[in-house]
Amino acid sequence: MQVASQVAATDLTVLINGESGVGKEVFSQIIHSLSARKHNPFIAVNCGAIPEGTIDSELFGHEKGSFTGATEARKGYFETVNGGTIFLDEIGELPLGTQARLLRVLETGEYIRVGSSKVQKTDVRVVAATNRELLQQVQNGKFREDLYYRLSTVPIRVPSLHDRPEDIHLLFRKFAADFATKYKTASVQLDEEARQVLLNYPWPGNVRELKNIAEQISVLASEKLITAEHLNKYLQPFSTNRMPVWTGNNSNQPEFSNEREILYKLFFDMKKDVNELKRMFVELLNNPELAASYPQLARKLHELNTTAPDLLPSPPVSATSPITPAVHTATVPLLPAGFSHPNSEIHEHIEVDESLNIMEKEKELILKALKKHKGKRKDAALDLGISERTLYRKLKEYDIEE
């Protein structure tokens, strides 16, 4: 807030960084309202919501007949907001060609309409925002380095709601009061236990989610004093670890917060199945009389032995994973008694793994990353592929002292 108010009086370009829903657009409005341009137009443009083929036309305008469907000339945002402020949200979604055009506007104030050769001038202050790490996109070739440094003349990082818990109840009261005025009802209040629930919830949707919850309660709550039990009905189930969260719904299907957790679930389910198969093989090979306990397995082995013996591996193979150490190793015949191989006796090293504790591995990786980057959480989080907020939560969860 202090940086936003100090930079407002200037015409410097501002880059606001933060997770989705933290209120980046609110900061752009604050900067505009405290600037000398406050009586001139302000427009917010979501760069990620405009198709790549039309974004140049939206920002810089086009001439009649410049492309199919251009039945008349059209002014772009940089022309209509001349003298004011333009807020470019999700700036990381801009195509590289549009980034080059934007860079020219920022450096010289000049632009050219699509389909025109006439250079036009504009006096617009640009405030940009993103929920991505633009430096990472620069390294990946998806964002221009010169544009990044031109945009981030004054960077402002808005922390997630979970990282500023002192704001949670204050914002809830503010939203509740606004919705009480809007719907002409009494403002809802939280008891002490409900406040603690509000503070302990991780708020993945940040301020946007908090506002939605406040509106739901304001409209649907029959009692104006909200208890913890009542509040929990409006909050999404969450887990303190990074594994999938079970919602307990009728579909009996887990919800996943992101693709990484889906992969975790898939890999560990596969590992569990493979270890179970290994255990069954060892048990069957050491106790041939138990073959009757696994009729389907025995029948399948018999089919493979008689119809496609070449499918059975003859050289010793290892079932160990490069990342998972084997604990027990036994050299046993591949086929149980009664299922002899027609060519030769086949042996295989079958290794049975102990259960893997993902939390210990995760803690170990976090400690290595912190040591590698000398305690710098931002760099460690980038190396681990997680957000700084998630790393902060993990440090508290595992009681890691920096």
Q: What is the pLDDT of residues 343-392, one digit of tens each?
A: 444 444 444 444 456 777 888 888 888 888 888 888 888 888 888 888 88
Question: And the tokens for 334?
Answer: 């591949």
Q: Is residue 9 part of a domain?
A: yes
**Residue of higher predicted confidence among 339 and 281:** 281
Whether residues 127 and 167 fall in one domain: no
- Asked whether residue 254 carries a pLDDT value surpassing 80, the answer given is no
Q: Are residues 170 and 131 in the same domain?
A: no
| Residue 172 belongs to domain with CATH number | 1.10.8.60
| Structural domain includes residue 282 | yes
Tally of CB atoms within 10 A around 59: 23
* Same domain as 201, residue 150: no
Residues 336 and 365 reside in one and the same domain:
no
pTM for the full predicted model: 0.58
Are 139 and 219 in a shared domain? no
Higher pLDDT, 345 or 165: 165
CA-based radius of gyration for the chain: 30
HEC sequence for 335-394: CCCCCCCCCCCCEEEEEECCCCCHHHHHHHHHHHHHHHCCCCHHHHHHHHCCCHHHHHHH
Neighbours of 249 (CB within 10 A): 10
**pLDDT tens digits, 316-353:** 444 444 444 444 444 444 444 444 444 444 444 444 44
Q: Count up the domains in the chain and report the number.
A: 4
Question: Cβ atoms within 10 A of the Cβ of 252, count?
Answer: 8
Q: How far is CA 79 from the centre of its chain?
A: 35
Residues 154, 167 within the same domain = no
- The CATH number for 26's domain is 3.40.50.300
Q: Which residues contact 13 (CB under 8 A, 6 or more apart)?
A: 106, 125, 126, 127, 128, 150, 151, 152, 153, 154
Residue 390 maps to which CATH number?
Answer: 1.10.10
Same domain, residue pair 343 and 383:
no
- 77 and 203, same structural domain? no
The answer to whether residue 35 is domain-embedded is yes
| Domain-embedded: residue 91 | yes
Residue 330 shares a structural domain with residue 372: no
Q: Is residue 243 part of a domain?
A: no
Task: Verify that 136 and 179 share a domain, yes or no.
Answer: no
φ/ψ (deg, to 5) at 164: -135, 65
Question: Is there a single domain that holds both residue 226 and residue 267?
Answer: no
Degrees, nearest 5: CA angle 242-248-249: 120
- Domain extent at residue 380: 357-397
Residues 146, 15 share a domain: yes
- Other Cβ atoms closer than 10 A to 274: 13
Looking at per-residue pLDDT, the higher value among 391 and 75 belongs to: 75
